[in-house]
Amino acid sequence: MRAQSLSLLRTATRCSRLRPHAIAARPAQFTLRQSSTSAPSSPSTPATPPAPKEGERKWSTPLAQFLGQAITTTGPISVAAYMRQCLTSELGGYYTRTPTAGEDQFGTKGDFVTSPEISQVFGELIGIWLYAEWLAQGRKEKVQIIEVGPGRGTLMDDVLRTVSSFKTFAKSIEAIYLVEASPHLQKQQGKLLAGTEELQKSEVGWKAPCKYIPTCNIQWCEDIRFVPKEETSTPFILAHEFFDAMPIHVFQNVPASSIPKSSTIMTPTGPITPKNGPTAPGNQWHELVVSPTNPYAPITTKPGEEKPDFEMTVSKSPTPHSLYLPKMSNRYKKLEKTNDAIIEISPESLSYVSDFAVRIGGANGAASRPPKPGSPAPVKPISTEDEPFKKAQASGAALILDYGTTDTIPANTLRGIRSHKAVSPFEAPGLVDLSADVDFLALAESALAASDSVEVHGPVDQSFFLATMGIKERAERLLKNAKDEETRCRLEIGWKRLIDRGPNGMGKLYKAMAIVPYVEGKKVRRPVGFGGDIMG
């Protein structure tokens, strides 16, 4: 999770300093108050905006100033647009800005730590998972390894080190793709995985030879759509703490009587009047939108808390997203009669997971499968394709690890974290990490809807996944060979934290879900780590 302090664990010099839960996990939450009224070169980004002229509003960061001015011109923006800007804007997004010397997003000096940073065992087991899938699928040639959102590259480093010891598997790997929005993190990944920050220009973005498998390049790009899709290749896709960083739209089910009727719809280019007039009576999904706080309003923050630049309000008018996103699944429709229900939907996540499914199984229509009793209602796939992509034979796998809900729809889960503390997601845009719970069921629905030739396993708790992958045995072997007491302590605390099911551990909060090929008429094969709990 954005848990607290992996790098503490990996770099501490004395056992006594290794406090397993010294740093808060990312799912810690700041209570949101909804307003009652309504190789590349990295961009260098100043941490403070220019001093305001007299009478001008003071913003906490240059990005806040940009967003504030944009919203003043075009009207409130969706939570998704706000999140997107805060995380990946070229004007100083959380991931895309270049941290100043000594500053870091990850680790003790940074804002949060993640499982791969806590223990090498995590990435090693994921490497073994990939190998087990590759064996189970008949040792395919032309393998692509893809990771979305690799952070510092630590997970991929542990995965590739492990995989390179399985010679025939390593030989089958043709390319490694890292989908990363941050130029500065691309360089860090280059340093770790290729031994250089000097990345060369490539067709999809940047490249450098992999230090573990020299016959193959690591390729960087900013979006999964740039990763080539080939009928005969077998993609193995990893997404660790990626989906929680994907922008969410938030909707509240508002009784028609409580919101003044409006005949306009807000769009990014301004309000428009729908042809069919005001919307029908009854409950309606209204989008929660982001706008600047009133600089003259009385200060309601506690001492030491920053007054947020922005706040969230209920949009009075329908937005383009409120008109169609909540209609996408029966899961949302079931809440239509529940006053004030809140749902979070991440179309970008659904688009990514659909892309994973299509890479593995080919686009819908390749094989048809009757719906299973009790399976989720079909949703319309979000397609990123111009032409449906077909595969002669489904192959590959996607492994998604993150925190989120397994059977409910996330609500009120947008959170800000800074220096291991929960803060308002609306303060210091670009300096605060934003994330939201992952809706695993929505991901599963979307994958199944995108390709008839995949099945989804899980989500299972991370503790279950890692325990059945043999974390204890692997850790014991490493402990036996540990060269000193410090290494032993680090290993011991690290692996236990990954499967700890308590409130500060990562075993229960984090889930694992796998997308693998579905072969009609063949007995279901559960992937390693997913001993039960089959969906689809």
Nearer to ligand SAH, 32 or 155 (CB): 155
Q: Which stretch binds ligand SAH (CB under 6 A): 54-62, 177-185, 285-293, 407-415?
A: 177-185
Q: Please report whether residue 181 would count as binding ligand SAH according to CB under 6 A.
A: yes
Q: Please report whether residue 88 would count as binding ligand SAH according to CB under 6 A.
A: yes
Q: Please report whether residue 384 would count as binding ligand SAH according to CB under 6 A.
A: no
Q: How far is the CB of 394 from ligand SAH (least distance, A)?
A: 26
The correct pick among 236, 242, 495, 518 for binding ligand SAH (CB under 6 A) is 242
What's the rounded Cα separation, in Å, for the pair 375 and 456? 11
Nearer to ligand SAH, 114 or 233 (CB): 114
Q: Please report whether residue 461 would count as binding ligand SAH according to CB under 6 A.
A: no
Q: How far is the CB of 455 from ligand SAH (least distance, A)?
A: 25
Give, to the nearest 10 degrees, the angle between helix 485-499 and helix 471-481: 170
Q: Please report whether residue 82 would count as binding ligand SAH according to CB under 6 A.
A: no
**Pair 142, 186: CB distance under 8 Å:** no
Q: Please give the sequence-ordered ranges of beta strands (E in DSSP) within 451-492, or none if there are none.
A: 454-461
Task: Spell out the alpha helix ranges (H) of 89-153.
Answer: 115-118, 120-136
Q: Which stretch binds ligand SAH (CB under 6 A): 120-128, 241-249, 412-420, 449-457?
A: 241-249
Q: How far is the CB of 118 from ligand SAH (least distance, A)?
A: 10
What's the rounded Cα separation, in Å, for the pair 57 and 106? 32
Q: How far is the CB of 106 from ligand SAH (least distance, A)?
A: 6
Element containing residue 478 per DSSP (H, E): helix 471-481
Nearer to ligand SAH, 95 or 332 (CB): 95
Q: How far is the CB of 352 from ligand SAH (least distance, A)?
A: 9
What's the rounded Cα separation, in Å, for the pair 344 and 348? 12
The correct pick among 137, 182, 319, 446 for binding ligand SAH (CB under 6 A) is 182
What's the rounded Cα separation, in Å, for the pair 399 and 515? 7
- Longest CA–CA span in the chain (Å) reads 74
**Contacting ligand SAH within 410-439 (CB under 6 A):** none
* Nearest CA-CA partner of 109 in 240, 243, 10, 242: 10
Q: Please report whether residue 179 would count as binding ligand SAH according to CB under 6 A.
A: yes
409 φ/ψ sector (left φ>0, alpha ψ -120 to 50, else beta) = beta
Q: How far is the CB of 223 from ligand SAH (least distance, A)?
A: 6
**Contacting ligand SAH within 139-158 (CB under 6 A):** 149-151, 155
**For 342, how many CA atoms within 13 A lie in the half-sphere containing its CB?**
13
Nearer to ligand SAH, 311 or 433 (CB): 433
Q: Please report whether residue 245 would count as binding ligand SAH according to CB under 6 A.
A: yes
What's the rounded Cα separation, in Å, for the pair 186 and 189? 5
Q: How far is the CB of 189 from ligand SAH (least distance, A)?
A: 8
Nearer to ligand SAH, 187 or 391 (CB): 187
* Nearest CA-CA partner of 463 in 504, 516, 505, 493: 505
Angle value at C-alpha 416, between 303 and 24, nearest 5 degrees: 85
Nearer to ligand SAH, 88 or 279 (CB): 88
What's the rounded Cα separation, in Å, for the pair 520 and 435? 37
Q: How far is the CB of 5 from ligand SAH (least distance, A)?
A: 12
Q: Please report whether residue 355 would count as binding ligand SAH according to CB under 6 A.
A: no
Q: Please report whether residue 180 would count as binding ligand SAH according to CB under 6 A.
A: yes
What's the rounded Cα separation, in Å, for the pair 72 and 294? 12
Nearer to ligand SAH, 1 or 67 (CB): 1
Q: Which stretch binds ligand SAH (CB under 6 A): 168-176, 239-247, 274-282, 495-503?
A: 239-247
Contacts with ligand SAH by CB under 6 A: the residue count is 19
Element containing residue 343 per DSSP (H, E): strand 342-345
Q: What are phi and psi of 8, to 5 degrees?
A: -60, -45
Residues that bind ligand SAH (CB under 6 A): 87-88, 95, 114, 116-117, 149-151, 155, 179-182, 185, 240-242, 245
